Chain A
Amino acid sequence: MEQTGELMKDFIEDVVKKNASDRSRLTAILHEIQRKYNYLPEQALRHVAEIMDIPLPDIYGVATFYTSFSIEPKGKHIVTVCMGTACHVRRSTSVLEEICRYLEVNPGETTKDMLFTVETVNCLGACAMGPIMVVDGTYYGEVNPANVVPILKKHLRAEKTTDMKKPQKISSPEELHSYRNYAIQTRYPENGRGIDVCCGPGCLALGSEKVARAIEAALLLCGLSEKVILRRTGCRGFCEKGPLVVVKPDGIFYNHVSPEHALTIVEKSVVSHELVEELLYEDQASSKKYIYENEIPFFQKQKIVVLSKNLLIDPYYIEDYIAQGGYSALVKALFEMEPEQIIDEIDHAGLRGRGGGGFPAARKWRACRKARSIDGIKYVICNADEGDPGAFMDRSLLEGNPHQVIEGMIIGAYAIGATHGYVYVRHEYPLALERINHAINQARDAGLLGEHVLGSGFNFDIAVSQGGGAFVCGESTALMASIEGKIGEPREKYIHTAVRGLYRRPTNLNNVETWANVPIIINEGAEKYASLGTERSKGTKIFSLVGKIRNTGLIEVPMGITLRNIIYEIGGGITGNKRFKAVQTGGPSGGCIPESLLDLPVDFEHLTEAGSMMGSGGMIVMDEDTCMVDIARYFLEFLGDESCGKCTPCREGLKHMAEIVREICEGKGTMEQLEALEELATVVRETSLCGLGQTAPNPLLSTLRYFRQEYDEHINLKKCRAGVCRALISYRIDPEKCTGCMKCLKKCPVEAISGEKKEPHQIDPRKCEKCGVCFEICSYDAVIRE
């Protein structure tokens, strides 16, 4: 025992030393300890406190605040079920229940044999594939209660390929130019032969890495590995159809590719320029087959600007980004423009913050530039704590094209006069963390970060800070507290962060997508950029289109496009011939927009007027099977969970709001309660300390505004028209339709179904737990939900 104690001490001293005993690395240090021991042992925390000279209550506070840490021992295998909105509307609750039933634990608990710990997470950003479960880091998409048990029994380990050579040092615009020529020659040969495999989060969850490796092997087999470049690109957006492969130079687009197809693709499409018919995309509505990506209706209506390089480059290669014109905006900004001129350009372009509020970026930059710092240090931060369930735009950008974000940050830092930068990445995005770290190291090696950027007089460097699983850290002041190694607790913003932010220095914070827009504006000019969009919302916006929609995935559209265009023309309409009910935008701070407002132009003003907001760009489509009261309950519970607990209205108010809505869902609500709920919602909105609490009532208020009838039905008629609220529904079997196939009888987890083979079955209502498995799997529509 004594020996383990010493070993632990040594380990901790190493970890602390490696992180330079820097408090801003505290979460990183705790993550490393957690990785080693699977939890944070008391002794370890005491030792960290001692050698880093941080009060123990502070460390204990941090260790218990972030969900990714545990002070209790955990199981050998971690099973995580995503409870994001997109997964929720696809009934992830049943998946979680089945796992818990099988392992005999409650969510958050560890099995007695210490083998499994079951956890929930508020969105993993792989929404197109929902419901998602993760076992030891391996993602499983589209799981259902019937297939979780086999998954628990097998475990795969993902491997990574990051063995890259260092780029050469570039110390002037001329050197960058010649490096670009070299990169084009080596990575984009003139004949343009190549195979692109999409390695975005959605495609990876569907196994695109295996496809890429199979194609590599096939190219080797055909003696083409030198002549044809295999590129693992960032997200192409069409996640629903993954894994996606594009054969160049012809640009043939294949969907649902599996490793077995690799050789066929290489032999037919690369060697003899033929098509592999069965892998072409077929439009469901028209049954028409398409050969080229840009002809497909899903892509045709989009305006791909910010994401355009995602499709062309391998995020691990700085050569690819530079070959595609990357860092040319930086040259222009550093050598041809004055800092004020850059801010003016951003101002004329009308760039507004893409993280939610839509605050004009230039105004923030200007305030930060003007602000005085006691020692001259100013910071720029990239907010990559994309916590909105159902949103994965930032993840796709950071994983697909990290250099564009870095370039934007360097330009911004130069304009503002900042010398230090941070990228704050949420802990649930390990791949994004790896890729941004890799890209920053590359950029530093290439002389694009560090002292004398590109040989100019400007010094700037970026560090990465890892979150710990707290939604509230997306709020700017909480995020800054978290970077400082403290509890992610917001503070009042009466003095703006542009004046007093991180370490009490002027700080400019923008989100990933906003930074990624900057190089485009500098390169193309404000005028061209502002030609897209509406009067007050310029440019394009990336949305993640998920939920009950045919073409789920990532889309980029000009501001001002209507919701109808997005949902029916790009999204291809609702799945399974169901009726559209609402679209939820803006994440937990947003609201639900009903069918009557489908022709609403999508921009900052119109969405706010409709009681929702742009948010970071999650768009979750709901059909008639979604209960709006249940959705309000879902968001209130989510936010109650994620509230930091500092201020009264948010901590206590959200708890009571959720309690009341839960009672309504259970058929126990009253009209007086509804009144109290509305009053409470107003006070929470008006008096909460930070943006989380101030916008938390939005999902409730918007569903009350547009779907009040459903609340009335739950309270007065005790009826849930969508068949979601369990207390208000029951299942029975129609003896006319039942063929006695025994499928439901075998699958029922509580043995509530009885009956002989080829005889109609019955459900015992006393045993039935209303999980809906029988309803889902019956092939004859014999199970009736009322």
Chain B
Amino acid sequence: MVTFVLDGQKVSAEEGWTILDTARHYGVEIPTLCYVEGLTPYSACRICVVELIRGKRSRLVASCSCPVEDSVEVRTKSERVIKARKVLIELMLASAPNSRRLQCLASEYGVTKIRFKSYDRGCILCGLCVRMCKEQMRGGAIGFSDRGIDRQVSMPFHKTPEICRECGACLYICPVCELPCNGPLKPGELCNACLDTIRIDPFPSK
């Protein structure tokens, strides 16, 4: 058993659990996009970052893959965490404005403006579809190609391979496919429909 402090409460977790596992066990909400139970953690979207305090040192870690350890303190809603998540939401919305999940997160975290150049790529490269196809459907029809800002999810040579059974699991798991409630939005536009109803507050730091 591992014991540590989670948002001010002393909690215990089993060896090998991640911070996210523990938080969910105790009902503490941490947003995730590229993490889904049953698929290998990928720690790419970074929305699940939490503050890990070890002695005097504090840093942000991805809770979906960071294992728990004894006598540390974890803050899931500190100001530093909220600030980072807000910028991450802004960054992802700039490339995928028509994601209901992202637009809801924007309302929740009070993101009311996108300061960066936006264009709709319709994808946040969370890689859920790639892992779903490979790990759960035994398909392996899609993968990542290119790198950096040109990175994309694609089929080899942009041709549907024989192995694809068109099962639709990739669509099912995609966090960007569902439209926001205010309908199709243009790049840079925000839904903000539920801005004041679901907004969260930072956890008081002391």
| A residues in contact (CB < 8 Å) with B | 42, 45, 55-61, 64-65, 71, 470, 487, 491-492, 494-495, 640-649, 651-653, 655-656, 659, 672-673, 676, 679-680, 683, 686-689
Contact = CB atoms under 8 A, between A and B. Distances in A.
A57 B141 contact: yes
Interface in B33-48: 42-47
20 contacts: A60-B143, A60-B145, A64-B145, A65-B145, A492-B65, A640-B149, A643-B148, A644-B148, A645-B148, A645-B150, A645-B151, A648-B46, A648-B124, A652-B94, A673-B115, A676-B115, A683-B87, A686-B59, A687-B84, A688-B46
B84 A470 contact: no
Nearest to B157: A42
B199 interface: no
Contacts of B45: 647-648
Contact of B161 (A56, A656, A679): A56
A670 to B, nearest CB: 11
Contact of B149 (A65, A470, A647, A651): A651
| Range for the number of chain B residues in contact with chain A | 35 or more
B140 interface: yes
A689 B46 contact: yes
A55 B134 CA distance: 10
A495 B66 CA distance: 9
Interface of B: 42-47, 49, 59-62, 65-67, 80, 83-84, 87-88, 91-92, 94-95, 115-117, 124-125, 130, 134, 140-151, 154-157, 161
Contacts of B116: 656, 659, 676, 680
Given A59-B156, A65-B147, A689-B46, 16 more contacts: A55-B143, A57-B130, A57-B141, A57-B161, A60-B145, A470-B147, A644-B147, A646-B151, A648-B92, A651-B151, A652-B92, A653-B91, A656-B94, A656-B117, A689-B43, A689-B62
Interface of A, secondary structure class, is: helix
Nearest to B155: A57
A651 B125 contact: yes
Contacts of A42: 157
A652 B43 contact: no
B34 to A, nearest CB: 9
A487 B145 CA distance: 9
A761 to B, nearest CB: 41
Most buried by B among A60, A659, A689: A60
A646 B84 contact: no
B44 to A, nearest CB: 5
| 6 residue pairs, one from A and one from B, having the closest CB atoms | A57-B143, A645-B151, A60-B156, A683-B87, A652-B91, A55-B140
B83 A683 contact: yes
Contacts of A672: 115
Contacts of B66: 492, 494
Contacts of B125: 645-646, 648, 651
Which DSSP category, helix, strand, loop or mixed, fits chain B's interface? Answer: mixed
A491 B95 CA distance: 23
Contacts of B44: 646-648, 689
Nearest to B33: A648
A686 B171 CA distance: 32
Contact of B140 (A57, A470, A640, A673): A57
Nearest to B130: A57
Nearest to A684: B87
Contacts, number: 133
A687 B46 contact: yes
Contact of B147 (A492, A645, A652, A655): A645
Given A55-B140, A57-B141, A683-B83, A648 B88 contact: yes
A495 B67 contact: yes
A659 B117 CA distance: 8
A651 B125 CA distance: 10
A59 B140 CA distance: 12
A679 B94 CA distance: 16
B67 A494 contact: yes
A643 B125 CA distance: 14
Given A57-B156, A649-B46, A689-B62, A642 B142 contact: no
A687 B60 contact: yes
A144 B143 CA distance: 42
B150 to A, nearest CB: 7
Contacts of A491: 43
B91 A687 contact: no
Contacts of A679: 83, 87
A649 B44 CA distance: 9
A609 B80 CA distance: 23
A689 B87 CA distance: 15
Nearest to A672: B115
A648 B47 CA distance: 9
Nearest to B140: A55
Nearest to A677: B115
Contacts of B47: 648
A495 B44 CA distance: 17
A67 B62 CA distance: 29
Contacts of B62: 492, 689
A379 B117 CA distance: 45
Contacts of B140: 55, 57-58
Interface centre among B83, B116, B147, B150 (most CB of A within 10 A): B147
Contacts of B149: 640, 643, 645, 651-652, 655
A335 B149 CA distance: 53
A647 B115 contact: no
B143 A61 contact: yes
Contacts of A651: 125, 148-149, 151
A686 B84 contact: yes
Contacts of A688: 46
A652 B125 CA distance: 11
Nearest to A488: B147
B52 to A, nearest CB: 10
Nearest to A676: B115
A220 B47 CA distance: 71
Given A642-B148, A656-B117, A679-B87, A647 B43 contact: yes
Given A492-B66, A687-B49, A64 B60 contact: no
A494 B65 contact: yes
Nearest to B149: A655
Contacts of A55: 134, 140, 143
Which residue, of B60, B144, B146, has the highest number of chain A Cβ atoms within 10 A? B144
Nearest to B144: A61
Contacts of A652: 91-92, 94-95, 149
A487 B144 contact: yes
A641 B156 CA distance: 22
B43 A60 contact: no
Given A495-B67, A656-B116, A659-B116, A649 B88 contact: yes
A61 B151 CA distance: 10
B157 A60 contact: yes
Nearest to B88: A648
A481 to B, nearest CB: 12
Most buried by A among B87, B117, B130, B134: B87
Nearest to A57: B143
A451 to B, nearest CB: 38
Residue from the set B60, B62, B142, B156 with the largest chain A CB neighbour count within 10 Å: B156
A652 B149 CA distance: 7
A202 B148 CA distance: 31
